[in-house]
Amino acid sequence: MRFHGNFIICRYLSRLRNQFNSNFEFPLPNFRHRAPFFLRSYSAEVPAQLSPELLNIMEQRLSAIEYRTSCLNNFLNQPEASPSEYARANKELRKLSGSVDLIKELRAKQKEIDGLKSLMAECSEDKDMLNMATEEMGQAVEEERKLQNLLLKSLLPKDDADERDCILEVRAGTGGEEASLFAMDIFRMYEKYALEKGWKFEVVDIAQSDHKGYKEASAAIAGDGVFRKLKFESGIHRVQRVPVTEKSGRIHTSAVSVAILPQADEVDVQLKNEDLRIDTYRSGGSGGQHANTTNSAVRVTHIPTGIMITIQDERSQHMNKAKALKVLCAKLYEMERLRLRSSRSKLRLEQIGSGDRSERIRTYNFPQGRVTDHRVGITYHSVDDVMQGENLDVFIDALLLQEEMDAMATFSSSQ
The partner residues of 72 in beta bridges, in order of sequence, read: none
**Distance between CA 268 and CA 298 in Å, rounded?**
23
**pTM here?**
0.61
Residue numbers in the chain where pLDDT is lower than 70:
1-48, 157, 265-268, 283-294, 340-359, 410-415
Spatial CA neighbour of 96 closest among 160, 151, 164? 151
Q: Which domains does the chain have, with CATH numbers?
A: 47-155 (1.20.120), 166-263+345-411 (3.30.70.1660), 273-340 (3.30.160.20)
**Distance between CA 370 and CA 382 in Å, rounded?**
5
Computed from CA positions of residues 195, 197, 203, 207, in that sequence, does the dihedral angle turn out positive or negative? Answer: negative
| Predicted local distance difference test score (pLDDT) of residue 202 | 92
**Element holding 322 (H helix, E strand):** helix 317-341
Q: Are strands 252-262 and 235-241 parallel, antiparallel or unpaired?
A: antiparallel
Q: What distance, in Å, lies between the first and last C-alpha atoms of the chain?
A: 7
| Predicted local distance difference test score (pLDDT) of residue 404 | 78
| Predicted local distance difference test score (pLDDT) of residue 333 | 80
**Distance between CA 88 and CA 68 in Å, rounded?**
14
Instruction: Identify the three-state secondary structure at position 90.
Output: helix
8 A C-beta contact, residue 380 and residue 390: no
| Predicted local distance difference test score (pLDDT) of residue 354 | 44
Cα–Cα distances in angstroms (integers) from residue 315 to residues 209, 288, 295, in the given order: 20, 10, 9
Q: Please count the helices (runs of H) and the strands (runs of E) in the chain.
A: 11, 12
| Predicted local distance difference test score (pLDDT) of residue 289 | 45
| Predicted local distance difference test score (pLDDT) of residue 17 | 44
The partner residues of 280 in beta bridges, in order of sequence, read: 298
| Predicted local distance difference test score (pLDDT) of residue 352 | 41
For the beta sheet containing 307-311, the strands, ordered from the edge strand earlier in sequence to the opposite edge, are 276-281, 297-302, 307-311
Residues 6+ apart with CB under 8 A from 318: none
Measured in degrees and rounded to the nearest 5, phi and psi for residue 24 equal: -115, 150
| Predicted local distance difference test score (pLDDT) of residue 257 | 92
